[in-house]
Structures are given as structure tokens and as C-alpha cells.
Amino acid sequence: MENQVRRPGVIPGPQGRPILAVSPPLSLYVHVPWCVRKCPYCDFNSHEKSGDLPEEQYLAALEADLEQALPLVWDRPVVSIFIGGGTPSLLSASAIDRMMTLFRSYLNLVPGSEITMEANPGTVEAERFSAYAGSGINRISLGIQSFDDRALVALGRIHDGRQAMEAIEIAQRAVSRVNLDIMYALPGQTVEACERDLRKAMSFDTGHLSLYHLTLEPNTVFAKYPPQVPDDDTSAAMQELITDATQAGGWERYEVSAYAKPGEYCAHNVNYWEFGDYLGIGPGAHGKLSFRDKIVRQARLKNPASWMEKAVKRDGSHIAEDREVQWKELGFEFMLNALRLKHGVPRSSFTERTGQSLYAIAPAMERAIERGLLDADPIQLKATDLGWRFLNDLLSEFLD
């Protein structure tokens, strides 16, 4: 093409469009949509179960969903699996075993891959957890949220503090890697109550902690009937307490809400944040897949019954969304993920994962650097301490 400029790391495609030279790492996300009870703060695709779970129907649909997706990811190595929900630990041990057998049969699963399953206290049984581990689950993420019984009632959880502690001990006996999900800035919570929750969580010495600020998400019960939550100053004091205590205890805050001991980063989530690929199967699951000349986002039907009915037809009707990401969107999408990581990502990965040169976002980078929000590091794309604290302000620079 006449007068075409070849920028480092960018291969010109048809009509000047850059194309991807290599495929990013690929993960698998599996959605299990059922819960015992829908929590009032939850905006995930979860549905209260009535009666026995339709395990046979679900597994048949999951296999059909995966089979139809195989041409999109054929022979690509899968570096991690995350079974989320909902409450996957509602599934029987035999269902998880069949699920893992399915993945090994169809996918090029890298030996030693991280395989995480979410579980909630109140659905935990020691024998079943051992069986999960025997099927290949090597990491369990427990939705503890709090050890305070009053806070758990306010959050609509089905477990109490004692069950939470028992669940942690059962998980630690079953697998070597355990994550605890803890929330703070809860209804009526004080800084002292937040510290008690944090100290209790840290006392189990798990390799990973996910510490989330409660947010009142749209289309939830809490959004319609908002509880009295701590003010901004109290929430900020809680965050400062969490940062200082976890650092002193040996956990590194490597992502906005993630804290890990050395070698205990969540590989699956890091792949998201580094703008890797992920295939999402199951009702409501989302995915991002890269091809030589485009990046595609998919979403499955949210309703479990509709997804199960349509997936087995094998005609693609179980897919609710299948769209190509516009090139003008890629800069923001990349930075939205990458800047969540404390140490950021190599600058070179922007071109590797988007097919674009950094020139595409150079004006936004310059503005963010001038505002003190983006580090001027010539090697890494990363937020400054100020930018990480006000991440939304930093990201807004890349919306243009």
C-alpha cells in the first residue's frame, strides 16, 4: 500500500487494519448458575434453585456448548479453568468429575494448569471437597464475605461465622491453594468490625485474599432498598487498614482487590487483566477470543432453561451475543484491564494483544502522565499510586 507506515510490532492488514501476529494465552470460564438463595447485593447471573439441580441436562448442554466452540479454539493450549457461579459447590462430586473429564477430552489443557472452583459455606461437605480435588480441582475460592453473624444476615448469606471457619478448614485439607472472598464497608460496619473480619481471615494463612468494597449494583435488591453503609471517609479508613495489615502479614496487593502470598497470584484472573483470551461456556458466560484479523466477544443466553434447551440443538441459538470489538474500542478495553494490576504490563503487550501501535493511545497517555495518573516508565504501562487510587479518573482518559 502506497506510503504505508510500518510501525514496530504491527503487521498491516487489509485496508490498513493491523492484525495479530500471535494468539494470547487462553483460559476457560464455566458458569454454574444456581444458588440456594439470591443475595441482595448480587448482580451476577445466579438463580435460586427449586428442588434438585438438573445436573444431567446441564452437563449435556455444557458438552454441546463446548463442542460448538471448539472450531474457534482448536488445539490452542488452555492455561487455566475457572468454574464460577452461582454456587458450583451445589453440584455433586460425580458431576464435577464428569465435567473435568469432558474438558480433558476436548481441550489441550496445559499440565499443572490452575483449576479453580467457587464454593460457598453452607454448601461445603468434607467428603465432596476431597472428591472435587480428586477430579482435578486444585484451587478453591470460598465466598466467606464476613465472619460476623449480624453482617451475614444483612448480606442475605445462608451461612454463619462458624460454618465459614469450618468451610475454610475443609478446603485447606482438600487442596493446597485457597482464596477467601471478604467484603468490607458492609451495612452498619465499623472500622473495628472490619479489622476483626480481616484478622480472622488472615489467621487461616491462605495464599490469596480477595477483599472487595461492597457496591450497590443496579438491578439488585440493595439498589432498590439501599442499606445504611459506611461513609466515604470510613470506607477509606477500612481500605488503608486492609492495605497496611495485609502487607505486614506477607500478602502483596497485586491487583485492585486481590492480595497474594509469593507465587499465589490467581493465574486465571491475571490472564483477564493482561488482556488474554477466555472461552466462556454455560448460561450467561462471557468470552473474548482473538483471531488473526479481529477480536470477538461472545455471551451465552442468561436463562439456564433457555440455554440448556438451545445449546443441545447445536445451531448456535444458545449464543446471545457474538460481535467483533471495534478497533477504536481496543485501547480502552486493554487499559481497563491492564491498569488494575499494581505493576501494570509491558508496553510491548499492548501491540501484541490489540494489534495496534502505542501511537493509537499516545495522546491519552500523555494527558494521564501530565495529570500524574500514569507512570512515565518507558518499559511498563502502569498507574502511579495516585492513578491507582483514582483509577476511574485515569481510565476516563482512554475513553475518547
Closest CA to 364 of 352, 350, 353: 350
- pLDDT per residue as tens digits for the range 253-264: 999 999 999 999
Q: Are residues 220 and 145 in the same domain?
A: yes
pLDDT tops 90 at residue 34: yes
DSSP structure class, residue 13: -
At 273-316, the pLDDT tens digits run: 999 999 999 999 999 999 999 999 999 999 999 999 999 999 99
Domain identity same for 98 and 204: yes
Q: Give domain status of residue 204, yes or no.
A: yes
- Clarify whether residues 334 and 248 are in a common domain: no
In sequence order, what are the beta bridge partners of 387? none
Q: Is residue 313 part of a domain?
A: no
- Select from 254, 271, 288 the last residue of a domain: 271
Number of domains in the chain: 2
Q: What percent of the chain has pLDDT over 90?
A: 90
Asked if 266 and 337 sit in the same domain, the reply is no
What CATH number has the domain bearing residue 388? Answer: 1.10.10.920
Range of the domain at 356: 327-400
**Residues 210, 345 within the same domain:** no
233 and 354 housed in the same domain: no
Quote the pLDDT of residue 233: 97
Domain assignment of residue 31, yes or no: yes
Question: Mean pLDDT score of the chain, rounded to an integer?
Answer: 93
Q: Residue 9 carries which DSSP code? A: T
Based on the domain organization, do 264 and 338 belong to the same domain?
no
Q: 84 near 45, Cβ under 8 Å?
A: no
Q: Examine the fold and report which residue of 253, 271, 289 is the final residue of a domain before the chain moves on.
A: 271
Give the pLDDT confidence score for residue 330 in this predicted structure: 94
Of 223, 244, 271, the last residue of a domain is 271
152-180 residue pLDDT tens: 999 999 999 999 999 999 999 999 999 99
The answer, yes or no, to whether the previous bond of 287 is cis (omega within 30 of 0) is no
| Residues whose CB is less than 8 angstroms from the CB of residue 245 and which lie 6 or more positions away in sequence, other chains included | 195, 198, 199, 202
Q: What is the per-residue pLDDT across 94-137, written as a single tens digit (0 to 9) for each?
A: 999 999 999 999 999 999 999 999 999 987 777 889 999 999 99
Evaluate whether residue 161 is within a structural domain: yes
Per-residue model confidence (pLDDT) at position 21: 86
- Of the pLDDT bands very low, low, confident and very high (cuts 50, 70, 90), residue 9 is very low
State pTM to two decimals. 0.94
